[in-house]
Amino acid sequence: MLVSLCLLAALIEVKAADFNGEDYWLLPRLFDLDNYDECLSHPDGLYCLGSFHLTPAEQPNHVYDLMTNYSKELYRFNRTVIRRGWCVSVRESNVTAEPMNRFEHCAAEWARSRRMRARLLRLEYCKSHSDVHATRSPDKSELAFLIAIAAIILLNAASTAYDYATRNNEKKIALLATWSVVANWRQLVEPYKSQQKSLQVVHGIKVIACACICIVHSAILLYSLFLYEPREMEQVIANPLTMTIQNSTTVVHMFIVLSSFLTAHNLLRSDKQFGFGTFLRLLAKRIIRLSPVCLLVIGFAGTWWPRVSDGPLWPAAVAEQSKICREKFWSHALFINNLVEPDKFCLLPTWYIAVDMQMSILAAILTMILAKFSKKAVPILVILFIGAIVLNAGLAYIHEWKSMLYFATVTENVHTLFRDIPSLGHFYMSPWGSLPACIAGLTVGHLVHFTEGETLGNTHKRRLHKLFYILCIPILVGWSMLGNYFQHIRHPIFVAAYAALERSFFQIMCILACIALAIINNLSLHAFTWRGWHLLAQLSLPVMQIHWCIALVIIGQSPQPVAASVLNILPVGVTTICFTYPLALLLTLLVELPMKRTFDFILR
Ligand SMILES: *[C@@H]1O[C@H](CO)[C@@H](O)[C@H](O)[C@H]1NC(C)=O
Ligand SMILES: *[C@@H]1O[C@H](CO)[C@@H](O)[C@H](O)[C@H]1NC(C)=O
Ligand SMILES: *[C@@H]1O[C@H](CO)[C@@H](O)[C@H](O)[C@H]1NC(C)=O
C-alpha cells in the first residue's frame, strides 16, 4: 500500500522551473530506435545499438549549451549522451567497412547536420541478417540444462506414481515418495504449526516485502530500457515523495536480521548441546534447500534465457547478463558470487542468497562460541555490533563507498543498472556491509532467549510498546524521507558515517517495531495470521530468484522505446507478480521441497 501511495504521489509533477517547454524540445531526442525486424529482414541488413557522446563542432552552439545546462541536475539524464538503435544498412551504404565504423559514420552524419561531433561511447551490439536468422544448435550447457529439467520431471512423475500405487501399502519406502507432487503439495498447504504464534507475523511481512521488491525491480528494469519520454523517469526520481522507495533498499537487509535471529533462536532453543556436528548439519540443510532452485535459475539465465525472445533492446538487456551468469555459475554454486568479480552481476537480486549464506554461517559460529558466555553474550554482541558499524564507516571512508541513497537518486545510474558503481558490488552487496544486520539479529535472538522468563508485559513497558507501535511507521517513513535532505550533504566524513549508520538505524527501528507488534498482539496481527501468508512465504526463495528474469521477458522484447510513467510501472509490476508466483510455486513443488524432504530423510 505504501508503494502504491508513493507511486500515486509521484504523479504530482515536479516543475522543471529552469527549463521552459520550447527549449526542452530543442534538445536532440535521447532515445531512438529504427524498426528492428524490418531492418534485419533484408539479406544485407545490419542493426546496431549503442550510445554516443556529442560535442560541439563549432562555437557558439546554442543547442549544445542547452544540453549541458539541462544535464547539470543529477536527477536528469546526461543529454550529451544519445542512445540509438539504428538500421545501419539503410542509413549507410559502404558495405566493405566494419559494422562498428559504419555505425559511427551514421552518427557522425547525424551530428554534422546539428553542427556537432559524435563519439561512440558504448557499443551494445551489431547484428546482421545472418546473426538473427541462422539456427544455432544447443551447446553443451544448454543441453545440460534440458537434461536437468527432464530429470526433475521424470523424478517427480516416477515418485508420484510410486506414491499413488503404494498409497494403502504399509511397507511403502518413504524415501522413494519424497518427490511425490501430491505429498509435497499437501505439505505446502499444511497450516503453520509452531508454538510461537508471534513468529507467524513474519510470514505476512515477508510476502508483502517480496511483492514490493518485485514491483520496484520491474520499475528499475523498465527504466533501464529505452524510454519514450525520459522526462517521466526524471520526474519520478526527482519527486521528494518517492524517496521512500529509492531509500528502501535497506529493507532487504531486514531479511538478514530475520535470518540470523532465527538461526540463534533455533540453536538456543534446542536443549541438546550443539557442536560442530550440528553446525555441519545446519549448513548442509541450508545448502540443499537453496542450491537447486538458485542453480536452476542461474542455469536458465545462462543458457536459454537469451533465446526466449528478441527485439532491438533484448540483446542489450539480456545477453550481457546471460554471459555473466554462464561465467560466474561456479561462484553461485559456492555462494561466493558477491566476492568473485563483485562488479559483474548476473541477475542483480541473486547477491542476497550469497550474503545470506555467508551470514548464516557466521551467525551459527558466533552462537556456538557465545554459548559459553551465557548471559554475557548480549553485551558482547552489542559491542560487536558497534564494532561492525565502525568497521563499515572506516571502509566506506577509505574506499569512498557511498550509501545507495547517493547513487539511486542519479537517473543515469538507474538507467545503466548501476554499472561501474563500486559502492554497489563492494559495499551494498558485500558480507561486511551486512555484518551489522547479522549481529543485530543475533543480539535479538539472544535477548529473547534470556528474557523469556521475565515479564515483558508489565503495564509501563506495555504503554511504551504501544507508543512505539503507533510511532514506528512515521519514524521509518520519516527516516527514509530525510534522504531528500541528506543527499545534498557531500562531505566525505558525513557520507561514510551515513553509509555505515543508515541501515543499522533502520534495522533497529524495524526490530523494535516487530517486538512491539509481537507483544501488543492486536487486530493488525490477526490480519497476518491468515494461512495464505504462510503458503506464499514458502515461495519467497524462488520468487526472489526468478522475478528479474520474468520482468525482463515481459518488457525486454519491446520493439519501441517504452512509456515509463507511473501508471505504466504498476501494470508491469503486477504482471511480473502474476507470472512469478505460479512459476515459483512450480519450482517449490517440483524442486525445492522434494530436495529438502529427501535430505531431511537422509540426514535424520
Ligand atoms: C546555461 O547556463 C549558463 C549559466 O548557468 C547561462 O549563462 C547560459 O545562458 C545558459 N545557456 C542557455 C543556452 O540557456
Ligand atoms: C555526460 O557524459 C559525458 C560522457 O560520458 C561526460 O564526459 C560528461 O561529463 C557528462 N556530463 C554530466 C553533466 O554528467
Ligand atoms: C568504405 O569503407 C572502407 C573501409 O573503411 C574504405 O576504405 C572505403 O574508402 C569506403 N568507401 C567509400 C565509398 O566511402
Q: Is the pLDDT of residue 455 over 50?
A: no
How confident is the model over 144-197, as pLDDT tens digits? 999 999 999 999 999 999 988 888 877 778 888 888 888 889 888 887 666 566
Number of other CB atoms surrounding residue 112 within 10 Å = 12
Residue 65 Cα: closest atom of ligand 1: 13
Q: Is the pLDDT of residue 453 over 50?
A: no
Query: If you measure from the C-alpha of residue 443 to the centroid of ligand 1, how many angstroms do you get, rounded to a whole number?
Result: 56
CB 555 within 8 A of CB 312: no
Report the predicted TM-score, pTM, of the whole model to 2 decimal places.
Answer: 0.89
Number of other CB atoms surrounding residue 198 within 10 Å = 18
Q: What is the CA radius of gyration of the chain?
A: 27
Q: How many Cα atoms occupy the beta-carbon half-sphere of 12 within 13 Å?
A: 8
Instruction: Report the alpha-carbon distance of residue 40 to residue 132 in Å, rounded.
Output: 8
**Better-scored residue on pLDDT, 375 or 63:** 63
Q: What ligand has the least distance to the C-alpha of 94?
A: 3
Residue 79 grid coordinates = 543529454
**Better-scored residue on pLDDT, 158 or 235:** 158
Q: Is 65 in the pocket of ligand 1 (CB under 6 A)?
A: yes
Residue 52 confidence (pLDDT): 95
* Residue nearest atom 7 in ligand 3 by C-alpha distance: 97
Instruction: Report the alpha-carbon distance of residue 143 to residue 149 in Å, rounded.
Output: 10
CB 544 within 8 A of CB 352: yes
In the predicted model, what is the mean pLDDT of the chain?
Answer: 86
Q: Is 380 in the pocket of ligand 1 (CB under 6 A)?
A: no
**Nearest of 453, 466, 559 to residue 512 by alpha carbon:** 466
Least confident span in 149-163, 305-319, 387-401, 449-463: 449-463
Q: Is 93 in the pocket of ligand 3 (CB under 6 A)?
A: no
Q: Is the pLDDT of residue 407 over 50?
A: yes
For strand 46-56 and strand 116-128, is the pairing parallel, antiparallel, or unpaired?
Answer: antiparallel
How confident is the model over 522-541, as pLDDT tens digits? 555 666 777 788 889 889 99
Residue 16 confidence (pLDDT): 53
Query: If you measure from the C-alpha of residue 226 to the centroid of ligand 3, how many angstroms do you get, rounded to a whole number?
Result: 31
Q: What ligand has the least distance to the C-alpha of 411?
A: 2
Q: What ligand has the least distance to the C-alpha of 83?
A: 2
Least confident span in 258-262, 372-376, 557-561: 372-376
Question: Among the ranges 79-93, 250-264, 442-456, which has the highest mean pLDDT value?
Answer: 79-93
Sheet containing strand 31-33, edge to edge, reads 31-33, 81-87, 46-56, 116-128
Bridge partner residues of 218 (DSSP)? none
Average pLDDT for 326-346 = 91
Share of the chain above pLDDT 70, in %: 92
Average pLDDT for 93-121 = 91
| Terminal C-alpha separation, the chain | 43
Q: Is the pLDDT of residue 240 over 90?
A: no
Q: Is 120 in the pocket of ligand 2 (CB under 6 A)?
A: no
Residue 452 confidence (pLDDT): 64
How far CA 400 is from CA of 426, 488, 494, 586, in Å, comes to 11, 16, 11, 43
Average pLDDT for 108-125 = 92
How far CA 600 is from CA of 271, 281, 282, 368, in Å, comes to 20, 10, 11, 22
Least confident span in 7-11, 352-356, 472-476: 7-11
Bridge partner residues of 87 (DSSP)? 47
**Nearest of 343, 415, 318 to residue 81 by alpha carbon:** 415
Least confident span in 117-131, 167-181, 340-354: 167-181
